[in-house]
Structure 1
Amino acid sequence: MGIRNYGERDYAFGQLMVTLRTTLGLTQAELAEFLHVSRRAVGDWEAGNSYPKTEHLKVFIGLCVKHRALPAGREVEEIRGLWKAAHQKVLLDERWLSTLFDQSDPPLASLAPQSVKGTRPLESPVTQPAARPHIDWGDALAVPTFYGCEQELTLLTQWIVQERCRVISLLGMGGIGKSTLSVNLMHQVAEHFEIVLFRSLRDAPSCDVLLDDCLQVLSPELLNTVPASLERRISLLIERFRKGRVLLVLDNLESLLEEGNIKGRFRPGFEGYGMLLRRVAETMHQSCLLLTSREKPGELRALEGKYAPMRSLRLSGLDVAACEQLFAEKDVIGSPQDWAYLTEVYAGNPLALKIVAETIADLFGGEIDQFLSGDTVIFGGISDLLSEQFARLSAMEQTILRWLAIVREPMTIDELQAMLLAPPPRVQILEAIDSLRRRSLIERGQRLASFTLQAVVLESITTVLITEVTNEIRQRKLHRFIEHGLEQAHAQEYVRQAQQRLIVAPILAQLYSLYHGRGEIEEQLLFLLHQLREQAEHAQGYGPANLIALLRQHRGHLEGIDLSRLVIRGAYLQGVEMRGASLAGATLRDTVFTEAFDVAWAVAISSNGKYWAAGSGQGEVRVWREGGQILHLVWQAHTDNTYALAFSPSGRTLATGSWDGTVKLWDLEDGALLWTGWHTDMIRSVAFSPDGQTLASAGDDAVIQLWKVTSGTNVQTLPHPDPIFSMVWSPDGSMLASSSFDGSIRLWQLQETQLATCAKILIGHTNWVFALAFAPDGTQLASGSWDGTVKLWEVASGRERQTLTGHTERLYAVAWSPDGRTLASAGFGNTIWLWDVERSSYRVALHGHAAVVYSLAFTPDSSSLLSGSEDGTLRVWDVESGQCVHIIQGYMVSFYDVAWSLDNTRLASGGSDMLVTIWDVAGGMQPQVLRGHSWTVFGVVWSPDGRLLASSGRDNAIRLWDPTTGVCLHTLRDPDYVDTIFYGMAWSPDGQMVASGSYMRGVQVWNVETHTRCWVGRTHPTRIRCVAWSPDGTRLASCGDDGSVCLWDSFDGALLARLPGHSGRVRNIAWNPDSSRLASGGGGRGEGEIFVWNAQSGERTQTLKGHPDSVFAVAWNKRGDLLISGGSDGRIRWWEVQSGECLRVCEGHQGAVQSLKISPDGRLLASSGDDSAIRLWDLESAEPQGTLRRDRPYERLNITGTRGLTEAQKITLRTLGAIEEKAAEFLHDS
């Protein structure tokens, strides 16, 4: 293939070729001879000048497979990555790849890298598993060779295979080779197990986190809801240990043990590991737990014995023969006496001997006697040797080690370069990496062309970094502190948390020991912030961000902190309270903030991966670029939930569908609206045809509408018998699949010249089908239902192929990975399940969301999954490991209802935060919070005597509370249908009954004393948003999404009248004081409507128009001559009913006005909305009287003149309370 220019060299590919060749143990000449090419050709590949031809690359891959040069268990992934990196003009031949492994598939025992002298696999009397075991290497190092330890390997194999020991402890000093031996042992005995699992404890995960991680691999079906207790998690693990043979290796257990005089005791917070060890050791099972540690945990001492199933082996280091072999490989020569002396001095420690061997080779010509005569032998432990070695490294080599200690996982050269403030020439970095590898200070990672640190080296360098930083802070002379970012905002989430625990927190701990009080430490850190502010921008480096991380950890918040005129690089400010702080004039780079959204109803990723989008409960759309790292656009797209999103195949436009009944098409460059289409009810699904010419939309009006993308013209309407929940195109565009309220799935055949027809109806689910996804090849369709199952259907025949069970709750979302190998499903259980499609079985369960998961989307390369939830977060998951690698945290509360107490002193609210809150209107007391709902609260109402408070919600419950104590006294549920969602509420004037609207289940009225349902009022299935009792108590009014108002007899629920006329959904109703008139608010197609009805005749007597869009709330004053209304535009209007004149308009809320309630004394109006606020107004003058709101995260944060923020980020920060003054004023002040 062609020669590349110097400036275009592919260093990453070259480094990968070098790594694989050296792993094979070949020189460039030897590899060239094997491949029948010139040595120069190999040299050009490794220099990144050119790529191998396809035939040469295939032979090279075959060589790597045959000699185990690729990380075990990840061979296929590594080969795919190598093929892609080599820029081949042809696709990887999958059949050839399969044949390659069929031809080279020896027993797993022979997969172990052979020791220098060789080890012979043991004969085992145990019956071998029929299939190859599943091996999960976790973050195990790639270990191609190891030295000596033949007897130890034999003994450990005997303990595991023949004697079936339950717990084995592999003990020894740091660097002695415990991890290396354990990895080789895993290879040796893997064929005797169903699952082999390696986990490192060097980042000190909690026992809960470790167990969840292991159970995700071993038995994700047991974790469909995360057990509440540690004991339960341990029991689940042991249950799996009993069912089949599992080998679990826990490396670096010493990271969890206390240091000092107390040996073998777990550190505070890690005592759960002691319980885990005892239970695994004392309980009968057929699995094995292998531990590596520098010391033995106390829990195992009394349990071990010669004939007990618990054993321990202490490694004593290499013998002289193995030491001689190690030195020979490094081209170091010496006498037998020299070998023996060095083995004794360094206690046979392999890592120490490797480091010394490289020193001898580099500085003493490979002659041991010269080294020994030079007075350079370090007497002491491995830590002393590493400290001495670190001191002798070049500045570049030290920098690389520090960054590896910070990142704490394998990294590539490109990733390293991106972190350096002033990256040197790439060749200098390559030379430093090669030098560190030769010195055995870095190791090859499992990822292609990556490198990392052994645990003992990581620990040593981390200690060095912590000490250096602490001293620099104490001396007020910052150097390393500026060059290195101690915590990285965009690091994978589990890495960032480890950086907090193992770097930031220990630095603070050392500072606490040096200063007399916490105040002195804060004073020192604030002084350093001021010191940095006086320096040039380029000289501040990572310093400000590091100080922010320390202050945040120290204080728990950043309230009132002056961060003005600083260069802040990579600070993590998400979820951090910064009330009254200042970023005025600061420059921000790669800084993460909390986002302004509450519920992520929909997520989508463009086909090229450039844009990620999410739709919120307030009708907003947020679009990010660069893998969700930078907020690109945010705009108010709809007046209700943005429930559906779809990127066009070109990735240039975005379609949105909303509960406001509109489908819209947007330009992604600037967020411009291209066209709007209408449904008569809420929209639940939008989808582009694969050719991008047609957009389909569907929802609760039971039709699929097909739109011409270029013009927004409706070209066809497909009727459905029931509301439609989901709809997807087949990959070839010939078919549409839709799912419905009745549990059925319809397949529509689309033809260019004819109308679409329903080709098949798929029956099998027993509840609503909320989610559909076609397989990428179009042969299968996946469906997710509220019956808790995922079904796979053959598209050609319509036959149900398989039912995937395991979810115990209702499902909201399914997504098929673009590579067709993984299916994701999620819903009410808060857990996302990943299914192996080829095996039709679960693969891993993803835990982290705290509420319902509504939406899922894979990245184009299938490596990551994006999820959106009721908990206000978007999470990004690594599909391979199941780790949560990124979180986008939102904050915003919509208050859907407010209610006055009888004495006018308190207001109750319910909203998207799942709380019922009782506010002191005067503001003198803290709000009282009533917890119990597990989902959005839509309605709150006081009983007429003020003794009870009722609330309703999406969690299928009506709760009756004692407002004095905050205790939930009783919970009411639909006795006929457990999944009923309840909306607005009303208490009868006599206090005996409470009524609620519902989704598709009519008006429901309950007897408060007996807690029984009195009657249900139904017309046809629709969402009933609001109910209102007439003041005389004789009638109950309801309104809903079918555009009508209904009047019911309070006694028996008889339908007295149905009042049609609204052009869209009716969102709110209110009686006038004498029960003679009824006002209803709603609207559609861009115009708000308020109708006034004669309650006796049903005649519409007045129409009030002026709201530009839908009317969300209406209320009468006490005299009955004024109506107050609130709309989707956030404005509140006062109307004179007699004349229909709009008397005044007030700016009420950012976003929709959700509720309006007048105080019992008629003096005040309370309004609530989508901006987390309740506002009080003088009813007569419309003057604002105050605001009730919890402080937002960035309340009064000054962002005047702040650079590095996109306009979308500024909008978000202002929404969350930030302030931005005029630039001139800021410049004057500064």
Structure 2
Amino acid sequence: MSEDLGMALSTISRFLNGKPVDYGTFLEICDRLSLDWRVVADSSPTQDLDLTQALDLSSAPALLDPSSTPIQDWGEAIDIDLFCGREAELSLLKETILTERCRLVMLLGIGGVGKTYLATKLAQAICSEFDAVIWRSVRNAPPLEALLQDLVPFLSWQQDMTPTVDRLLHWLRTHRCLLILDNMETILSNDQSGQYRAGYENYGNLLRQIGQTQHSSCLLITGREKPTDIGILESNRLVTRSIVLRGSSAAATAMIKAKKLIGSSESIRQLSQYYDNNPLVLRLVSTSIQSLFEGDIERFLEEEVFVFNSLRRLLDQQFERLSSLEQTILYWLAINREWTTVAELQDDIWPSVSRSDIFEALESLSWRSLIETRSGQCTQQPVIMEYVTERLIQTVYENLETLGMHEGSDENTPLSLNVSAMKNSLLLCTHALSKTTTKDYVRASQQRMNLTPLADKIRSTLIQQQFISSAIQTVLSNLKQILSGYGAGNILNLARSLSIDLSNYDFSKLAIWQADLVDTMLNGVNFTAANFRHCQFNGTFGGVTTVALSPDNTLMALADHLGNIHLWQLEDNQYLRTFRGHTDWVYSVAFSPDGQYLVSGSGDSHLKLWAISNSVCIKTFKGHSQLAMSAVFSPDGQQIASGSSDQTIKLWDLQSGQCQRTLVGHTGALRNVVFSEDGRTLASGSIDQTIRFWDRQSGHCFKTIESPNHGIWEIDFSPNGQLLVSGGNDQTVRIWNVQTGACIRTLTGHQNSVWTVAFDPSGNRIVSGSYDGVIKIWNVHSGECEKSLLGHTSWMWSVVFSKDGKTLYSSNQDRTVRIWNAQTGYCLRTLSGYTNTIWSLAFSANEKTLASGSHDKNIRLWNLVGTDLAEGSVAEQKCSQTIPQNSPVLDLSFFPNSEFLASAGGIAAAELNVWDLNSQRLLRKLEGHSSVVRAVAIHPDGDRIASAGADRVIKLWSLKNGLCLKTLAGHKDLIWTLRFSHDGTMLASAGLEGAVKLWDFEGGTCLKTLEGHKDQTVAIAFSKDDRLLGSVSVDTTIKLWNLQTDQCDRTLTGHTAPVVAIAFSPTQPVVASGSFDGSIKIWDMDSGQCIRTLQEHSQTVSTLDFSPNGKILASGGEDSVIRLWDTQSWQCGQTIPLPGPYEGMNISGATGLSEAQKLALKTLGAAIN
């Protein structure tokens, strides 16, 4: 059955055992087995419709419920090298969890008493009793959503990506799961016992829900302090229990003997008893006994030096006895927060020290039991890391006070002390609170554990923002006496945490080390003669459409929607150079087999061959009539194959640049072509729902695989050439047998179209990326999803494995490339670009306001009062109001009263809001879409709102009560656009599938489907009299549809790239269109002739809108500029640029920046005099 359906055994098993499966999979299995899906769906768990008995499975292999073989993720669980005693505690915990089936158990005890050891031993002993076991440490204080993003996919066998408590509870009910959360005290407040840190209160809801909701799973938490919620929940001891762990005499004795102390059984008992049998305390005390009393316990007891009667006091005493270098190393280990090598420490420490000195200090720290070591790396126990971190934050805060951070400080008043002489004693200058060179997940921890607490401490002292800003200026001024170190970099990172406007700050001549300046507005900041080291900036790339690695894995090429290709060095993630020449999106880039060349395919229909050494374009291949979506070298490097949306494949000779053969057969746009490993076969995938195999020599198509409802976005051969994987618009990944053409597996789990797929070098794993922004790693043999990688905030473009399969590179429309550990799923590094696309423009009905929505997550309102372009009256345009959103603003629509504005957007989740512009508040937050909302429209009655997006449905809402009135289904793929007719009788929508749909929105049915475009339809608009509907498409055409005949009256051609914006004039018989080619065309509606081309935008024109009186046409797009056009002369009367991140930033004489970095910063607005 599994092979027949092309699904994993575990998927069939889940269905047969009544477990949840994907909706599409559920229907497909029911259909294939001739089952009425309604009967299956309606059967309750108590009725247990026995499918395994209803079907003849005698010849099928044994199908196992995945929960019968436990899945386990031990995360940060420690290796137990010494475990003694605790038999009573283990027995009690086993009874509590297995026999009494408590849902929530807390293991409570002071630091170092052995909670983590005991929890690990327990989990190992009882893991076989659970379907799923997952261990997570909370010592880095992850926000609850981040934790749920980890837990929910794992406990759902990677089926569910929704990071909510409700979904977690669903899976805790579905399977018997054991969750262990270690070091819960990290999320508790230092000031109020049992209360949560600010921003972590939702953990209380998690504990309450798990304790109060019926399920068969167990959450075991460890901590030094009991959350108030646990105390309340313990009133019902049947389901919630806390167990206090005290010192163990057996464990204490074993620890003393392991430290090789000398003494009788009685002296060992006395020593253990005095320190409450705490293993960690005894380890620390043992070093003092060794150094002061030569390991003799009795001599130590005779001296009665029991002054270290608390762990805190003991650590204080130990710390004070350390050398300066030993203290420095402890601080750096607390900052790095994970296993650290000597080489890393040597690079961190400033002023620099020798490697031999570091080894000597590490040996001393290890002997004192203040660090843990393994395989040449070291770290700290959680309790010690917490102690050192608190000490670091307090000391840095005192440093800031010393440097003038207090209320009333004035940067013009010099300090009376010699700051330069203090530089080596100021932790602010000798240690980085956050590092750009570390892994992304570690840097996130550094932000939470170092910068955020320090920022909170500053805010509690200097309450008003102007005092904080003034104090930061004072500290910065006094740091001018110290020209090296981490001080200025720490100030920049701290200023981000404090949300300080850094415009016009003076960092000249300072050392800027380890500063994260990505997405930081540095307008007018003076970095003259500054020394940059390990700093991160935004790159100049836009949405990253593809990423490729050189054959030797030393270089990475990424291409973007701005038409550029950027080259990066992988060893240090350094930007090298940019290849410019395409005039449209670059959809494909590939290295030649010898690594000397790049080939690229673009929306301008051309292929280009580039020399990697100097970024020179050697050849341009012309021949396709539409988008060149795919370009790849043959394995021998002699040919290039390209696939296009013109439905053809072309084979090009590399040397001559001539097209040797055109392969015809597909009936839809080609998305991908790929050579087999031996180079004899070329495979192609198309949205016509077929995969074709071509003989490279003859050009003959010798095999066609039809894949109903699976329009192909990308394909890839397995390394041995026996399998081929495809990703499609039906949300599935399919694995095909190349020899037979049979689909041997269908992998389900994505929530939207799968746009990219790839095999790993071993052929054992597949990676896929979807419009839902999720990356999934699949096991080829079992069909199971092993990992779901979350982090991208828009749709996926490409994924590729490194040569050794250990690292994964992904590109996304969110303007980032992310580098992942393919084994753990952790994000190691993010490369961020910058373009502030203006996605939407909308005039208010009263013509006083123009609203813009842009990629920087801001709605801006522009006051148009006094603007008359025809009369030459142009008021200076300043943004009168900025409304921040949580995601890029993709569409805007004013209500007829001009007082309310609707906005659409979203990242991983939907965002649909209605704003009251008079009160500047959020009027309604409309929730119901399951993915990004791409379009919003307001009915002329001013109450009804229509929205649509990536979840393929249209929703109708009432402004009065915020409720969803109706959901319209019928689109098969993402919806880009929708509009109401001016008379309010029609609603039109269009999207990725290309057709335009007209709806009876009152009845909820689709009235007509207008077909004609050859590719996706991106925008639509009604003419003022509602006689015509205009649509624009990636196929470069504009169509004018007669709504009385439902026929296309005219097809307007002239743009040389996809057309993505359209607007009808309310007063003239003209329609305007905007395109990827950077032009705006004005068309006569009657003749269909282009009467004017406006070409002042430098990049894609993504949005157009006429003012209600028809006098102004507003345009915006990729170049971050709003242009206002006089519709009489068609001249641009006003230009309104949005500010870039580094506008006016002075880097004259700065060192530490490569020429490529300087050029990139200049592109983003920086100045070099």
Q: TM-score range by the shorter chain?
A: 0.7 to 0.9
Match of 2:788 in 1: 845
C-alpha spacing 1:748/1:355, structure 2 compared with 1 (3 Å):
same
Distance of 1:389 and 1:844 partners within structure 2: 43
The answer to whether residue 93 in structure 2 is matched with residue 156 in structure 1 is: yes
SS in 1 for 2:388: helix
The answer to whether residue 221 in structure 2 is matched with residue 278 in structure 1 is: no
Distance of 1:843 and 1:315 partners within structure 2: 36
RMSD of the alignment, in Å?
4.5
State the TM-score, normalizing by the size of structure 1.
Answer: 0.75
State the TM-score, normalizing by the size of structure 2.
Answer: 0.78
Match of 1:349 in 2: 278
C-alpha spacing 1:453/1:762, structure 2 compared with 1 (3 Å):
same
C-alpha spacing 1:873/1:966, structure 2 compared with 1 (3 Å):
farther
C-alpha spacing 1:430/1:192, structure 2 compared with 1 (3 Å):
farther
Distance of 2:901 and 2:365 partners within structure 1: 71
Match of 1:1113 in 2: 1081
Letter in 2 for 1:555: S
Distance of 2:210 and 2:830 partners within structure 1: 34
Distance of 1:918 and 1:1005 partners within structure 2: 32
Equivalences for residues 677-716 of structure 1 within 5 A: 677-678=621-622, 679-716=624-661
Distance of 1:178 and 1:1021 partners within structure 2: 64
Return 278-287 or 1114-1123, whichever deviates more. 1114-1123
Give the deviation of 1:249 after TM superposition: 1.6
Distance of 1:1077 and 1:285 partners within structure 2: 64
Distance of 2:474 and 2:933 partners within structure 1: 54
What is the aligned counterpart of 1:824 among 739, 759, 767? 767
Match of 1:292 in 2: 222
The answer to whether residue 672 in structure 2 is matched with residue 726 in structure 1 is: yes
Letter in 2 for 1:749: D
Distance of 2:241 and 2:1088 partners within structure 1: 85
C-alpha spacing 1:759/1:423, structure 2 compared with 1 (3 Å):
farther
The answer to whether residue 173 in structure 2 is matched with residue 239 in structure 1 is: yes
Contact 2:1065/2:1106 (<8 A) preserved: no
Contact 1:663/1:676 (<8 A) preserved: yes
C-alpha spacing 1:1119/1:926, structure 2 compared with 1 (3 Å):
farther
The answer to whether residue 747 in structure 2 is matched with residue 747 in structure 1 is: no
The answer to whether residue 1153 in structure 2 is matched with residue 1199 in structure 1 is: no
What is the aligned counterpart of 2:106 among 169, 190, 201? 169
Contact 2:67/2:132 (<8 A) preserved: no
Q: Which runs of 5+ in 1 are unaligned?
A: 1-127, 1084-1108, 1127-1131, 1133-1147, 1223-1230
SS in 2 for 1:777: coil
Contact 1:1125/1:1156 (<8 A) preserved: no
Contact 1:695/1:706 (<8 A) preserved: yes
Distance of 1:667 and 1:1014 partners within structure 2: 54
Match of 1:185 in 2: 122
Distance of 1:1076 and 1:475 partners within structure 2: 71
The answer to whether residue 319 in structure 2 is matched with residue 390 in structure 1 is: yes
How far does the alpha carbon of each residue in 1:509-539 deviate from its partner, in whole angstroms, 9 at most, with x for none? 4445566765555444322322333434xxx
Equivalences for residues 162-561 of structure 1 within 5 A: 162-224=99-161, 226-227=162-163, 230-240=164-174, 243-244=175-176, 246-259=177-190, 263-301=193-231, 304=234, 308-319=238-249, 322-372=251-301, 377-444=306-373, 449-476=376-403, 477-478=422-423, 479-512=426-459, 519-536=466-483, 540-561=484-505
How far does the alpha carbon of each residue in 1:1120-1150 deviate from its partner, in whole angstroms, 9 at most, with x for none? 9995424xxxxx3xxxxxxxxxxxxxxx344
Distance of 2:401 and 2:1067 partners within structure 1: 75
C-alpha spacing 1:1155/1:512, structure 2 compared with 1 (3 Å):
closer
Equivalences for residues 599-678 of structure 1 within 5 A: 599-626=543-570, 629-678=573-622
Give the deviation of 1:855 after TM superposition: 2.1
Q: Which runs of 5+ in 2 are unaligned?
A: 1-64, 404-421, 865-874, 907-930, 955-967
Distance of 1:1177 and 1:981 partners within structure 2: 29
C-alpha spacing 1:264/1:929, structure 2 compared with 1 (3 Å):
closer
Letter in 2 for 1:387: D
Distance of 2:300 and 2:905 partners within structure 1: 80
Give the deviation of 1:639 after TM superposition: 1.9
Return 963-972 or 693-702, whichever deviates more. 963-972
Distance of 2:690 and 2:820 partners within structure 1: 31
SS in 1 for 2:435: coil
Give the deviation of 1:916 after TM superposition: 8.5
C-alpha spacing 1:388/1:480, structure 2 compared with 1 (3 Å):
same
The answer to whether residue 872 in structure 2 is matched with residue 926 in structure 1 is: no
What is the aligned counterpart of 1:592 among 520, 523, 536? 536
Distance of 1:564 and 1:165 partners within structure 2: 61
How far does the alpha carbon of each residue in 1:31-75 deviate from its partner, in whole angstroms, 9 at most, with x for none? xxxxxxxxxxxxxxxxxxxxxxxxxxxxxxxxxxxxxxxxxxxxx
Match of 1:63 in 2: none
How far does the alpha carbon of each residue in 1:368-417 deviate from its partner, in whole angstroms, 9 at most, with x for none? 24444566543321111112112222222222211110111122222222
What is the aligned counterpart of 2:512 among 565, 568, 577? 568
Contact 1:947/1:962 (<8 A) preserved: no
Distance of 2:724 and 2:1081 partners within structure 1: 42
C-alpha spacing 1:468/1:734, structure 2 compared with 1 (3 Å):
same
Equivalences for residues 722-1121 of structure 1 within 5 A: 722-750=668-696, 754-895=697-838, 906-907=849-850, 919-921=862-864, 922=875, 923=877, 926=880, 959-961=936-938, 968=945, 977-979=971-973, 1001=994, 1018-1019=1011-1012, 1021-1022=1014-1015, 1049=1042, 1051-1054=1044-1047, 1113-1114=1081-1082
Letter in 1 for 2:448: R
SS in 2 for 1:742: coil
SS in 2 for 1:198: strand
Give the deviation of 1:1058 after TM superposition: 6.5
How far does the alpha carbon of each residue in 1:470-516 deviate from its partner, in whole angstroms, 9 at most, with x for none? 22222235522212111112322232222122112223344455667
Match of 1:30 in 2: none
C-alpha spacing 1:1025/1:307, structure 2 compared with 1 (3 Å):
closer
Give the deviation of 1:174 after TM superposition: 0.6
Give the deviation of 1:786 after TM superposition: 1.0
Equivalences for residues 1108-1147 of structure 1 within 5 A: 1113-1114=1081-1082, 1124-1126=1092-1094, 1132=1095
Contact 1:1115/1:1125 (<8 A) preserved: no
How far does the alpha carbon of each residue in 1:988-1011 deviate from its partner, in whole angstroms, 9 at most, with x for none? 9x9987888866645667799999
Return 201-210 or 875-884, whichever deviates more. 875-884
Give the deviation of 1:1050 after TM superposition: 5.6
C-alpha spacing 1:585/1:962, structure 2 compared with 1 (3 Å):
farther
Distance of 1:351 and 1:252 partners within structure 2: 15
Distance of 2:882 and 2:974 partners within structure 1: 28
Letter in 2 for 1:504: L
Distance of 2:937 and 2:543 partners within structure 1: 26
Distance of 2:123 and 2:1143 partners within structure 1: 54
Contact 1:943/1:991 (<8 A) preserved: no
How many residue pairs get aligned? The number is 1032
Letter in 1 for 2:709: T
Letter in 2 for 1:166: R
Give the deviation of 1:968 after TM superposition: 3.2
Letter in 2 for 1:1052: T
